Amino acid sequence: MPLVSMNEFLPKAKANKFAVGQFNMNNLEFAQAIMEAAIEEKSPFIFGVSEGALKYMGIEFTVALAQAAARKSGLPIALHLDHGSSFEVAMKCIRAGFSSVMFDGSHYPLEENIRITKEVVKAAHAMGVSVEGELGTIGGVEDDISVEDEHAKLANPEEAVRFYEETGVDCLAIAVGTAHGMYKGEPKIHFDIIEQVSSRIPVPIVLHGGSGIPDEAIRKAVQAGVGKINVNTENQVACTDTIRDVLGSDPKVYDPRKYLGPAKKAMIEVVRSKIRLFGSSNQA
């Protein structure tokens, strides 16, 4: 099966009150772990790729890995640019074979964010590619971008509705109290903002910073209108902790397969648990 846009499954997710996971792809083991867990659960999913990951893996290898997973699994898989910084980066990814892109203009004034996002949507939709937009500022650290908690800014519901109406994005990330990375304490998610926006637009809300949020809060967010949830840090932690354990227990290990294999298994467990939590099992 070829890669698909998020519109192959997000409308169904919103209508049936489940969420599709975006799991970031950082290397071969991440790609395989995500795919294998999704095959077991018969779930659609989204490969998220940040600009930092693109620089690390190379755009050709990134697309090839995603296409191989789509062919092997037979699942509806979207290859999605995560937090694209410009129109040019989004277009580069579309030309390379991405089936979905995000333009993150949340650091721009509202009018500028709307203007650029609208341009991305127009070009992407002409190619059958889905688009995610963002409003408000999400705290935490992702790649080289760091936003202190005091500088995070919640989305304004009225502005969010206007943003959707003027841009026509296929899903909308709004800042509701989550953060990138692992949480120091329990996050305070503003479910009222999710509900206010979701009830007035036909596309699902995106929850960034999905790692470490309590299960009950995830379920509540999905019922409120979240249809896409991003997870990366929990996979990174599971991968790295496992590698540390293997190397720490046997200093003679030097074959990468001996520690990357167990790391992949640990990530499969993370992805499987998230798919079940999000409710997307048997939705492929």
Catalytic residues, which ones? Answer: 82
Distance CA(2)–CA(222), nearest Å, equals 28
From residue 68, give the alpha-carbon distance in Å to each of 6, 95, 280.
18, 18, 22
What tokens were used for 91? Answer: 């277009």
Reduced 3-state DSSP string for the chain: CCCCCHHHCHHHHHHHCCCEEEEECCCHHHHHHHHHHHHHHCCCEEEEEEHHHHHHHCHHHHHHHHHHHHHHHCCCEEEEEEEECCHHHHHHHHHHCCCEEEECCCCCCHHHHHHHHHHHHHHHHHCCCEEEEEECECEEEECCEEECHHHCECCCHHHHHHHHHHHCCCEEEECCCCEECCCCCCCCCCHHHHHHHHCCCCCCEEECCCCCCCHHHHHHHHHHCEEEEEECHHHHHHHHHHHHHHHHHCCCCCCHHHHHHHHHHHHHHHHHHHHHHHCCCCCC
